Structure 1
Amino acid sequence: MQYVAPIGVGIVYVLLMSLIREPHRRRFNAVMVAGAGAAYLSGGGLGGWEFAFTALVTWVAYRGLDSWTFVGVAWLLHTAWDAVHHLHGNPIIPFADTSSLGCAICDPVIALWCFTGGRTPRELLRRWRGAGERGEDPAWAADAVR
């Protein structure tokens, strides 16, 4: 359950974010990942590296205001930072020892969605079906970036 629940959290996040209309959806997600990038500042246990990471993810999230690809990259950066904290730092939730691991499992789900252009489930399904009807490989149907 420790490995499955974070995937569910990522899916719920995507479904809820899909309710926000574009272009606000992309911008809102850029702000969300910038905030997530600062989550360890108050006690992540990695000293000055916490500030360096926060600066990096903030810059990438800023670029994400206009690009789903940058939002996805920022979520993957946060995934890596979660893994570092799980192995060497303090957990994101101080009283939950595996919370950083859970976050590292959840974040790539969100990143994958961002790399599809942050589309709603309906848009993704429509694009997937349309590619199959045109004889294209449906695996590539969702790779457009807005």
Structure 2
Amino acid sequence: MLNHFFEGAGPIEIVAPVVVALILIALISLLKEPARQKFSAVFVAGAGAAYLSGGFGIWEFAFCALITFLAFRGLDSYRAIAIAWLLHTVWDFFHHLYGNPIIPFASTSSFGCAICDPVLALWYAFGAPSAWRLFKRARPEMSTAGAASDPHSNRRSVEGGRG
């Protein structure tokens, strides 16, 4: 079954979805909390409805209902959003093997989605921290001269306490 899953997938079909996930993480990181969490819940709800005509009949509606419930829970819980993305990964896997691809004219689109989604799920499992924080440089420490000019650096002695 796994051999069939990777059939027709070259390096670009594996690397590109990871890059897409990292771009999404970077863009969503631009949102401040709580907007980041609210947007993420709505985003995963939309992903849950992507396969409504995907070839699995009534199961498509059951899956959509489950993801909608998790998206609602995701308004207050990043864990629920992570679980929803992991379930979507499983749904992508089955669609790639047996159903219709998520993008009808791109036969490996469900495969790509199955690669992208767990990267998103991992990020959400860690609480969706801002990716931009990783790139911010730590503020340089003030020198002794800078500390002397800082009005708060000598607060205890000014207020009558010991320095």
Match of 2:113? 103
Q: Note the 1:1-146 alignment, pairs <5 A.
A: 1-41=12-52, 43-123=53-133
Aligned equivalents of 2:17 and 2:115: distance in 1?
Answer: 6
Q: What do residues 59-93 of structure 1 show as CA deviations (whole Å, max 9, x unaligned)?
A: 01110000111111111111111111001100000
Partner in structure 1 of residue 144 of structure 2: none
Partner-residue secondary structure (3-state), 2:13? coil
Aligned-pair identity (%): 59
CA distance in 2, matches of 1:111, 1:40: 19
Using the TM superposition, give the Cα deviation of residue 116 of structure 1 relative to its aligned residue in structure 2, in angstroms.
Answer: 1.2
**Gaps spanning 5+ residues in structure 1: where?**
127-146
Rg: which structure is higher?
2
CA distance in 2, matches of 1:33, 1:66: 14
Q: For structure 2, which runs of at least 5 residues remain unmatched after alignment?
A: 1-11, 137-163
How far did 1:56 drift? 0.5
* Contact kept? 2:29, 2:132, Cα under 8 Å: no
Cα deviation code 1:86-128 (max 9, x no counterpart):
01100000010010000000011111110111111244578xx
